[in-house]
């Protein structure tokens, strides 16, 4: 197999990256949750105020057939902040097509994301993995990651758009919850 290159995504890559996002969602049994269009994805990453950065793993033209995609993996990340540790980088997605796994591509993508974090003064790289994806968890642990759920008991939460709207209006989404929040 030809050498796979890692490079920053370009606007013209958005269609292929969205295809990979859909593949990842299918693998995670969450495909019904993917609502992003190619156009929205492109605007969010390459518009006036980009929300994310993305790296792609690309097979050179001679390394695949005419009908095969040239982008075989991606790593999507953004910068965030920890009030305890300062600058952080958050790896939202790391995905490599099944036919290209086991070749070091995922590690190359993750290493490049870590390097981007270090170049921006980040002290931590954060990400999440599904509890049933043992191969991913084991991969991350082998690279030196710490499982915060196991070691510190952290749970990650999200508000969907409708709950955010209610929260913004000062409404409660549930009668249950901490009284002191």
Active-site residue set: 140
Residue 77 burial class via C-beta count within 10 angstroms: exposed 0-12, middle 13-18, buried 19 and up: buried
DSSP string, 85-112: TEEEEEEEEEEE-GGGTTSSHHHHHHHH
Who's near 66: CB < 8 A, 6+ residues apart?
A: none
Nearest to 110 by CA among 158, 142, 155, 157: 142
Decide: helix, strand or coil at residue 70. coil
What is d(CA 67, CA 130) in angstroms, rounded to the nearest whole number? 32
Contact 95, 55 (CB under 8 A): no
3-state secondary structure of 20: helix
């Amino acid at each position: 197999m030809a050498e796979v290159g890692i490079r920053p995504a370009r606007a013209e890559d958005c269609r292929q990256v969205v295809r990979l996002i859909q593949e990842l969602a299918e693998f995670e049994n969450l495909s019904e949750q993917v609502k992003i269009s190619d156009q929205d994805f492109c605007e969010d990453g390459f518009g006036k105020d980009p929300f994310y950065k993305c790296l792609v793993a690309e097979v050179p033209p001679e390394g695949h057939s005419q009908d095969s995609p040239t982008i075989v993996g991606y790593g999507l990340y953004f910068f965030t902040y920890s009030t305890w540790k300062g600058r952080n980088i958050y790896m939202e997605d790391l995905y490599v097509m099944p036919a290209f796994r086991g070749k070091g591509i995922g590690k190359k993508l993750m290493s490049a994301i870590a390097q981007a974090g270090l170049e921006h003064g980040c002290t931590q790289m954060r990400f999440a993995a599904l509890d049933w994806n043992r191969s991913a968890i084991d991969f991350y642990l082998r690279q030196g990651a710490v499982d915060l759920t196991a070691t510190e008991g952290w749970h990650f939460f999200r508000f969907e758009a409708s709950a955010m709207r209610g929260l913004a209006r000062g409404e409660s989404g549930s009668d249950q919850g901490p009284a002191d929040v």
